[in-house]
Structure 1
Amino acid sequence: MNKRIQHIFLIGLLFSSTAVFSQIKDETLILDRKREPEVKKIEKKKTSIEAEKNYPPEEKSANPPAYNITNVPASSDFKTSLIQGEDISPKFEAENQNNYFQLGMGNYGKILADGLISTTLENDMEVGADVHFLSTNGLKKVYDWNSKQSSANVGAFLNSYGELGKFSVNADYGLNDYNYYGIYALTPASSNVDLRQKTNRFKVNGYYDFYSNEILNDVRLKSSFLSDHFGAKESQAEVLVNLSKHGVEFPSFDDVRFNADFGIKLETVKSDFDLLEKNSSQFLNATLAPKMTFFKGDSYLMIGSDFSFLNAKNSNVLLGDQVKNNKTYWFPKAEVQFAAADEFKFYGGITGGLHLNSYADLLEQNPYLVSDQELRATETKYKFYFGLRGDIDQQIKYDFSAGFGKMNDILFFKANDLFNYDVDYNRPAYDFANTFSSVYDNGTVSEAKASIQYFPLANLSLDAEVNFEKYNLDNNDNIYYKPLIKASLGGKYSMLDKKLNLGAKAIFGSDQTTNSFELNNDGINPNSYISTQNINNKVGGFADLNLSAEYKVHKNFSIFALGNNLLNTQYQTYKGYKVLGAQIVGGVKISF
């Protein structure tokens, strides 16, 4: 009886705690599976970390990278730059969970299919494939025109564990088929208006990690090819080589160790657009990153630099302009951590770098871009930061930090006006004041972050995170579509001997500023529109609540339910783009 009361109390605690953030924000399906080492801002509880078979050896066991494939199922409806889909579905730890297929259906005509199959061959070689599909009929009762969307991804991968290192390669194809449905300034003449946009992206990645950190540490290769419905084409490639010498001891200081690293990165992006001004850009960036790190226990001092050599070429076919630029950058890199105890680790540093903005990256943030973008590289000249992190009795892990930085060509998005002001014009999908374009400005950013994980019980984990970002721009009063405050609160709880797993995630964001347009007929010429721009329009804040449950009926069979936007609020992500209301998806999973 006491156990039952305890279970009910914990479920109530988990769900009621997330309900604090309850104005709802939509999430998205992430179709990428992470197959590269990823460092979490806060490590998981040590007892919950899964060890990967045959890896790593003793040389890297102190700080093992995570290579496991992360399954990220459907969370909600349309894509948004603010929330990159949270994986709130519970996970079973059984070995046969590596191979599964799940199928679900829900309201709004939602269909979900998700699966993974892998097998280990001789010589510890693992091969596998995965598939994802999500579709929805959209907001038929809100819009007279088409707002349906579907996303699909098919991938294959190979992992090989050798005597010297681990080799991984993966290839996948992603399709996103959707509509520019966010029309707010005028009404289409027909409900059958064509608003379709479609993107195709093919990626191939390779990675080799040497077990010992002797000279050649690891090598990464990345490539990507993207095209869309309007003739845009983009190719990306990146090669990264890490050279290192780790674990050097000083004879005079037995407890001091020294690591030396030297990173070499070569990356290129080529983008060509076939609409409107027909922008074209090409970037070639080479970066050298030397670094020295001194360790004493959990305390350390890292000193390094980034030297970047950028060759950029931008052209505009309509205007006949072409701009070439060759520039060399230097960025400081340093960090120090003083570990007074496991519970209190003080740290601070300075960083900087160059980021090449691509059309593919921009679409991940905002899929409603017009297929003609000006692309630039964003430069973080410097960013100072300091913070405190720690681990209290393996029950509470936290990280508090604050920073200030100077940036050039900060990227954000603005709403587009009409491209043609004729009233009776047969408009293409992107010409209803329903798309966005990239904008750049120089300025400073002040930020503060706090994240915490709490493990009160072996089968219960809670986490919370808050981010504050304040931009001061040189030429704009406000930065668009970047909220001042973002926060999240979540938890996972398992019961009935792990047969029933529950998950919850609440996400909050403050108001966002944007520009918008009001269209009226010209009194003198009734066949033309007059456009008025509002540069300080607001898109309201949000709080997004999501719940999930999965019950394991049999070791190879389980049922699940996902609930998104449970307060049924049709708020907007970008101007004009309302999201689906409350969504419930139920389905079955077969594991083998």
Structure 2
Amino acid sequence: MKTINILLLIFALFGCGGMVFSQEPLNQDVRVQREYEPTISDAMKINQMPEREDTLTVKPEFSYSVAGHAMPGVPQVSPLQAARLAPQRPKDLYSSYIRGGMGNYQLLFGDIFYNLTRNEKFAFSIGLQQESSWGELELEDGNRVDAPYHNTLGGLYMRHFFDDKTLELDLDFHRFAYRYYGLQTIDPNGAYDISLNNDIKIEDVNGVLLSPDDKQRQTTFDLHFGLLSQQSDLDDARYHLNFDFGSFNNRTDVGENSFSLGGDLYIPFGALSLKVDGEGIYRKVRATNDDNEFLSLFQFEDREQVYLTLNPRVVFPGNKLKVEVGLNLTGEFSDTEEFYLSPHVRGDLVIAEGVVSTFLGMTGELHQNSYREIMEENPFVSPDVLVKPSFTNIRGFAGVKGNFSSATSFTARLDYEFIEDEYFFVNRFFEQDGSPDTWGMSNLFDVVYDDATLLSLTGEFLIRPDRDLDIILKGVYYGWTLDNYDYAWHKPEMELGIRAGYNYNDEWHFDASFNVIGERKALMQSGEIKNLSSVADFNLGANYQYNKRMHFFARIQNIFAAKFYPWAGYPMQGFNARVGVGYSF
């Protein structure tokens, strides 16, 4: 059945490409803008969807012409005069910046940065950011609970520029501390029956043992070394080598270390080019050694994984049509050996030079789903969950991008993919001892798996009616079809966002955004389904530049005070505001 679906997808994509190719050519300029990603303010992401590879970049072209005129009877030569340049004072550049502010929900935040200025050989910056809140939130049962968090970010960035290469060094530190404050219905003094992954059933377990410590913390440290070639001639070979180390640990004392070595290489061969990227990753999860009674019911396991990836490509460049053909190959070496192979075909066609282009292709991807990534995606997942990889064996895509005029641009895209072992988050439930119809809900999450197909429709539109006003609109529709479950748990049906930024003058800048996330479904006990309502989020912000060194800012978020539950049982902050001041020196 999947083979038939794949064939139908191929014909549908080529049919879509044929319709795009038949459009009438236009004659306007292009404005290329960064994509806008609508988000819900101060709310943890529902899910980080797989990133889509970028499409053809449309470059603006300019032509200059001089009106003809009659030659004089006797040619005259006028001597060239040297241009007189008025002395200009170099623009003030400040190496350091500090910012601080406060808001409701007992919010305090501050940042400090330092960077090296006007240096031809080195680029260097270092920064530290801290944000803390001690606010309370109201759960759906009416109870108010403490929901504090403390977020700390630190980083160092350095580049050394040689004549034909660049040496890279990055250091990053992140610490996120929070509470499991979500709704739970487990009676601490009650008795429950639980089933472990090894099919062992334990009866008459005290409810207090089914909830971990209410505090959690995620700490990460990342190190990156890289070497990047800098060739100005497109006919020269180019490379980018990198070595990365990542360390992760949480308050439950489960840690993960990873090492990776990889890079990419681009070699032109006359009318075609060879592009190869690859990576080797070693990842080890270290389980907690804590054997106290409180953690004895969790399924902590050590795990080692090795991934080897090689993605060769042959590129046929052209002024109008560019074609890329290759393979995606990944080998996983853990308890068993698994190999994942998928084709990679992509074509970019310029329909009207500098106005509109279309793209069409097919590819695949392995999502490794590390322990660290899962906890960052859902901070309230149970700390003993090890998620297995998910494999998009094929994904077809097609779309068009361009502009209507010098003040507007657009992108439209369709993706259809087949995914094996896609994971979804569900609440943990425990059966009350002696009452098979009575369940206790934990405020921790587990994962379930299913094979799925996903249809994604993405559209983006930018309009700049004035040089001081930008308006960006983006919408995404997600159509999930699963083999065993009726819904893709905690996944939205759609996301819609609009953002506007306006420079009133040199001192005042204003921005506004309106975001909508569609309805989602959550799986409850005994197969019951819970609706997580859609949410509309409206935000306003202002910045006042007092002088060259100092500025003041304010922001009001979730003006409608919408109730947003990114995860079942976990509300996010409602109406919130913050003010602050920044100073450069």
TM-score between both structures, scaled by the size of structure 2: 0.75
Which letter does structure 2 place at the counterpart of 1:327?
Answer: E
Indicate if the aligned counterparts of 1:273 and 1:371 stay in contact, CA closer than 8 A: no
The question of 1:119 aligning with 2:141 is answered: no
Shift of residue 269, structure 1, vs aligned partner? 2.2
Q: 1:109 to 1:167 in 2, by over 3 A?
A: same
CA pair 224-337 structure 1, distance change in 2 beyond 3 A: same
- State the partner residue of 1:334: 345
In the TM superposition, what is the alpha-carbon distance from 1:572 to its structure 2 partner? 1.4
**Could you tell me which residue of structure 1 aligns to residue 576 of structure 2?**
583
Q: How far did 1:516 drift?
A: 2.6
Counterpart CA distance in 2 for 1:405 and 1:446 is 7
Given candidates 446, 458, 472, the residue that maps to 1:463 is 472
SS at match of 1:335: strand
Aligned length: 474
Tell me if structure 2 keeps the 8 A contact 1:29–1:134: no
Tell me the secondary structure at the aligned position of residue 361 of structure 1: helix
Deviation at 1:218, TM superposition (A): 0.6
The residue aligned with 2:529 is: 536
Q: In the superposition, relative to structure 1, how do residues 186 and 175 fare at CA in structure 2: closer, same or farther (>3 Å)?
A: same
Match of 2:356 among 336, 344, 358: 344
How far 1:184 sits from its partner (Å)? 4.1
Q: Give the 3 Å change call, closer, same or farther, for CA 504–239 of structure 1 in structure 2.
A: farther
Query: How many Å separate the matches in 1 of 2:351 and 2:513?
Result: 33
For residue 566 of structure 1, give the secondary structure of its aligned residue in structure 2: coil
Q: Report the structure number with the largest CA radius of gyration.
A: 2
Q: What is the CA RMSD across the aligned residues, in angstroms?
A: 3.0
User: What is aligned with 2:173?
Assistant: 173
Give how far 1:515 is off: 1.5
1:206 is aligned, of 198, 207, 225, to 225
Find 1:386's aligned residue among 398, 415, 429: 398
Using structure 1 for the length normalisation, give the TM-score: 0.74
1:178 to 1:583, Cα distance in 2 relative to 1, 3 A = same
Match of 2:128 in 1: 131
1:259 to 249, 256, 273: 273
Structure 1 stretches of 4+ with a deviation exceeding 6 A read: 38-47, 187-190, 419-423
Give the 3 Å change call, closer, same or farther, for CA 141–364 of structure 1 in structure 2: closer
The structure-2 alpha-carbon separation of the partners of 1:583 and 1:95, relative to structure 1 and needing over 3 Å to count, comes to farther
Alignment match, 2:549? 556
- Answering whether residue 505 of structure 2 is matched by residue 493 of structure 1, we say no
Q: Secondary structure at the match of 1:364?
A: helix
- Residue by residue over 1:289-326, the C-alpha shift from the partner in whole angstroms, topping out at 9 and shown as x without a partner, is 111112222531111111211112xxxxxxxxxxx210
Distance 1:233 1:571, change over 3 A: same
Q: Is the Cα–Cα contact under 8 Å of residues 42 and 399 in structure 1 kept in the other structure?
A: no
Question: Hey, what's the Cα distance between the residues in 2 that align with 1:500 and 1:472?
Answer: 48
The change in CA–CA distance for 1:579 and 1:381 in structure 2 (over 3 A counts) is same
Name the residue aligned to 1:513: 521
1:76-117 C-alpha deviation (Å, 9 max, x unpaired): xxxxxxxxxxxxxxxxxx874763211010111011112221
Are 1:146 and 1:195, in contact at CA under 8 Å, matched by a contact in 2? no
The 1:293–1:285 alpha-carbon spacing in structure 2 relative to 1, beyond 3 Å, is: same
Structure 1 residues 434-449: aligned runs within 5 Å: 434-449=443-458
TM-aligned CA deviation for residue 27 of structure 1: 2.9
Match of 2:181, as an amino acid?
Y
C-alpha displacement of 1:477: 1.7
Counterpart CA distance in 1 for 2:119 and 2:341 is 47
- 1:220 to partner: Cα distance: 2.1
Query: In the alignment, which residue of structure 1 is the partner of 2:42?
Result: 27
Give the share of equivalent positions with the same residue, in percent. Answer: 18
* 8 Å CA contact retained: 1:99, 1:117: yes
Q: Does 1:297 align with 2:319?
A: yes
Separation in 2, partners of 1:187, 1:160 = 59
Alignment match, 1:415: 427
Give the match for residue 57 of structure 1.
none
Please state whether the residue corresponding to 1:278 is helix, strand or coil.
Answer: coil
Q: Is the 8 A contact 1:110 1:134 kept in 2?
A: yes
| C-alpha distance in structure 1 between counterparts of 2:431 and 2:218, whole Å | 22
The alpha carbon displacement at 1:133 in A equals 0.9
User: Which shows bigger deviation, 441-450 or 412-421?
Assistant: 412-421
For 2:118 and 2:100, how far apart are their aligned partners in 1? 28
- Larger CA deviation: 140-149 vs 228-237: 140-149
Displacement of 1:225 in angstroms is: 0.6
TM-superposition CA deviations, 1:404-431 (whole Å, max 9, x none): 11111112211112499699xxxxxxx9
Equivalents in 1 of 2:434, 2:175: separation in Å? 34
1:235 and 1:420 mapped to 2: Cα distance?
A: 38
Q: Which amino acid aligns with 2:490?
A: Y
CA distance in structure 1 between the aligned counterparts of 2:551 and 2:466, rounded to whole angstroms: 24
Per the TM alignment, residue 151 of structure 1 is displaced from its structure 2 partner at its CA by 0.6
